[in-house]
Each structure stands twice: as structure tokens, then as C-alpha cells.
Chain A
Amino acid sequence: KQEVTQIPAALSVPEGENLVLNCSFTDSAIYNLQWFRQDPGKGLTSLLLIQSSQREQTSGRLNASLDKSSGRSTLYIAASQPGDSATYLCAVITQGAQKLVFGQGTRLTINP
């Protein structure tokens, strides 16, 4: 059974810092991995989608990497801003399956 873990559960940093959020998964036979952002009381917004054959994806100040063999992904946020404050969720689809399995998320606070 696929399990996804995100560390840390919460992170608070001053504005302008570069930061890394971590995601690990127990079954390395994944189809793809997706990073989401969730603002308080809101839905999930897709940030980046990485296919199993890819090593990384970039969108603006965000860069997500994937190391399937070690069961890890990282989300790098450059030059953080207060507007980046949200919960970031990592989710994977295992080979042969169709459902997204989510981690518990990292609650990020960027202090002005």
C-alpha cells in the first residue's frame, strides 16, 4: 500500500529565503507525482506535475524534483514571499492504479 510522508509538517521562514519542502513515498513504482497548494478554507491548486520518466519540473519560482529510486520528491521555492503562505501537498499515482495518494501536507508561513 502506497504511503506518502511530508516533512516538516509546518515551516516558518522570513520573506526572501529559498526553501525546500520534502515528500517521500514507500512504493517507487509510481506513474506520476503532483504538487498542490491549498489556501485556508479553499480547494487544491495544482502547481507542478512530474511524470515518472522526468527528473524535474519548473514553473516560475517553483522547481520540483523527483528521484523515483529513493522514493523522494522536493519542492524548491525561490525568493519566498508572504503570498506563498499556504499548505503544500504532495500526491502520487502508483503504477497500475489511478487514484492520487496524498501526504499530510506542509503548512508554510512566510513572515514579512
Chain B
Amino acid sequence: DAGVIQSPRHEVTEMGQEVTLRCKPISGHNSLFWYRQTMMRGLELLIYFNNNVPIDDSGMPEDRFSAKMPNASFSTLKIQPSEPRDSAVYFCASSFLRGRGYTFGSGTRLTVV
């Protein structure tokens, strides 16, 4: 298994532009999580899905952020419009059952200038 795959690895964009981050979970995993990591706040959960359905989006910072999971093998996190304070590393993780642990992708490093 190739693990959780995220793209792009790095993204540099100008303030005000739309940014789309992508994630392919491990095949067979039924839960998907989006986390954001910053020096100040560490790792924070943004949103998670069970069986493609959003369960908890209370961590999404504001309406500029949206996430979708159209099928079991693909999810997107979109920021529109982007702002410099959105600069962070965004991780996607997936799990089969919560008791089995979580597998993280390599992350997308987003820089908004």
C-alpha cells in the first residue's frame, strides 16, 4: 500500500487566490481527517469524515475553508480566498477503525504571500 497520498507537497500562492489541497486515503479506510500544523498551535483537527460524510467540522477556522469527500478514495480541502495566516503544513490522515490507529500523509506545505 502506498499510504496516504497528498498533493501538492508544496504550494506557494498569492493572497486572495484559491488553493486546493488533495488527499487519497489508504484503500479500505473509512475515516479521513484533515489537520493543520503551525509552530504556534501545533497540530489541530480541521474536519473529519466517516464513510465520506463530514462528521465534525468545528475546527474549520472560517467560511473561507471548505472540505469535500466525493468518494472513498479522494478528498479536497479548499481555501478561498487564501490569506498569509493560512500558511501552515496541512496533513491528511486516514483510519479503518479508531482502535487501529491513524496513518498520516506527508503533508502539504502551504505558503501564502
A contacts, CB < 8 Å to B: 31-32, 34, 36, 41-46, 49, 51, 89, 91, 93, 98-105
Contact = CB atoms under 8 A, between A and B. Distances in A.
B33 A100 contact: yes
Contacts, number: 50
B33 A43 contact: no
B101 interface: yes
A99 to B, nearest CB: 5
A39 to B, nearest CB: 11
A98 B55 contact: yes
Given A31-B98, A43-B104, A43-B106, A89 B43 contact: yes
A49 B48 CA distance: 20
A104 B39 CA distance: 9
Interface of B: 31, 33, 42-43, 45, 48, 50, 55-56, 91, 93, 98-107, 109
B52 to A, nearest CB: 15
B98 A43 contact: no
A98 B106 contact: no
Contacts of A103: 42
A102 B105 contact: no
A51 B43 contact: no
Contact of B98 (A32, A102, A104, A105): A32
B99 A31 contact: yes
B33 A34 contact: no
Contact of B103 (A46, A93, A104): A46
Given A42-B106, A89-B43, A104-B42, 20 more contacts: A31-B98, A31-B99, A32-B98, A32-B99, A32-B101, A34-B101, A34-B102, A36-B104, A41-B109, A43-B105, A43-B106, A44-B104, A46-B101, A46-B102, A93-B98, A98-B56, A99-B45, A99-B56, A100-B33, A103-B42
> When A and B form their complex, which 10 residue pairs have the shortest distance between CB atoms, in order from nearest?
A44-B104, A43-B106, A102-B43, A49-B101, A99-B45, A104-B42, A43-B104, A43-B107, A98-B98, A34-B101
